[in-house]
Amino acid sequence: MAFSLKGKTAIITGGGSGIGKAISTTFAKQGAQVCILDFNKENGTSTVLEIINKNGAAHFYQCDVSNQKQINTIVTEIVKNNTIDILINNAGIAHVGNIENTNLEDLDRLYNVNIKGVYNGMKAVIPHFKKQQSGVIINMASIASSVGISDRFAYSMTKGSVLTMTYSVAKDYIANGIRCNSISPARVHTPFVDGFIKQNYPDNQAEMFENLSKTQPIGRMGKPEEIANLALYLCSDEASFITGTDFPIDGGFIKLNG
């Protein structure tokens, strides 16, 4: 089977919803044992059940990725009986605002999840990857990482760091058989986007959904499965020559807008 993940164990942060959920179900379908680390117990356990009901292998670990101790404890638990082959640092949160309406609390919150969470994930698995002399990391960045998005100061800042962390780790561990890449989606239709519209435009949600779709040259939002398929390719043995690269998946947003 092409893009098989049979026999591999994958840690997927934020795997209970949206893009992370699509990655979890896709990876399980391709034979991986999936370990979902998510803050939200209800979403995490329901995704695990969905996978198990389709004869896949999945486990849920409740976890705040900004908490290094929690991630370390979970990784130690997983490696007792398994190797870890793949880490998907996907958990992330958003904030709307330019620099003037981003306060220190907002900045710290975004930093803790979007930057420290990615750092914590990589820091926990890299010693195991080094021992194995193999491992694949995908960090979920955003189009905001490279071009910035207006009114998303803190989000753009943190997602920019995801790119540079990715390049740095790719360079430092290339000799250890570790590949590290990032994915930069434009807008993808997930609860993340629905929540954003509901919170910021409660009175004209349908219109805003339409407007957001139209900001992408392709005329629609991405689907979580489309991101999951790219992640699958990048984590598969077929992508063995790919490291230290960011992959925009954006319906033409970066190159075709204007």
Active-site positions read 155
One-letter amino acid at 21 equals K
Per CB under 6 A, contacts with ligand NAD among 219-258 are: none
Residue indicated by tokens 């680390």:
37
- What is the smallest separation between the CB atom of 158 and ligand NAD, expressed in angstroms? 9
Closest separation between CB of residue 155 and ligand NAD, Å?
7
Query: Nearer to ligand NAD by C-beta: 76 or 240?
Result: 76
Residues 197-216 touching ligand NAD, rule: CB under 6 A, are: none
Look up residue 251 and give its amino acid: G
Residues that contact ligand NAD, how many (by CB under 6 A)? 30
**What binding mask, one character per residue, do residues 76-105 give for ligand NAD by CB under 6 A, x or -?**
--------------xxxx------------
Rounded Cα gap, residues 208 and 53, in angstroms: 36
Site string for ligand NAD, 12-41 (x = CB under 6 A): -xx-xxxxx-----------------xxx-
Q: How far is the CB of 109 from ligand NAD (least distance, A)?
A: 9
| Count of other CB atoms within 10 angstroms of residue 158 | 29
Task: State which of residues 110, 193, 228, 230 lies at the interface with ligand NAD (CB under 6 A).
Answer: 193
Residues with Cβ < 8 Å from 136, sequence gap 6 or more?
A: 85, 86, 87, 178, 179, 180, 234, 235
Environment class of residue 200 by beta-carbon count within 10 Å: exposed (0-12), middle (13-18) or buried (19+)? exposed
Query: What type of residue sits at position 156?
Result: S
Our CB check for ligand NAD shows the closer of 128 and 187 to be: 187
* Residue 246, both tokens: 């960011």
Q: Is 133 left (phi over 0), alpha (psi -120 to 50) or beta?
A: left
**Residue listed under structure tokens 């058989």:** 177
Site string for ligand NAD, 108-147 (x = CB under 6 A): -----x---x----------------------x-x-----
Nearest approach, Cβ of 217 to ligand NAD (angstroms)?
15
Q: Which residues lie below 8 Å from residue 135, measured CB to CB, with a gap of 6+?
A: 84, 85, 86, 87, 125, 126, 128, 129, 177, 178, 179
Measured CA to CA, the distance from residue 199 to residue 222 in angstroms comes to: 21
Closer of 56 and 92 to ligand NAD (Cβ): 92
Binding site for ligand NAD (CB under 6 A): 13-14, 16-20, 38-40, 43, 63-66, 90-93, 113, 117, 140, 142, 185, 187-188, 190-193
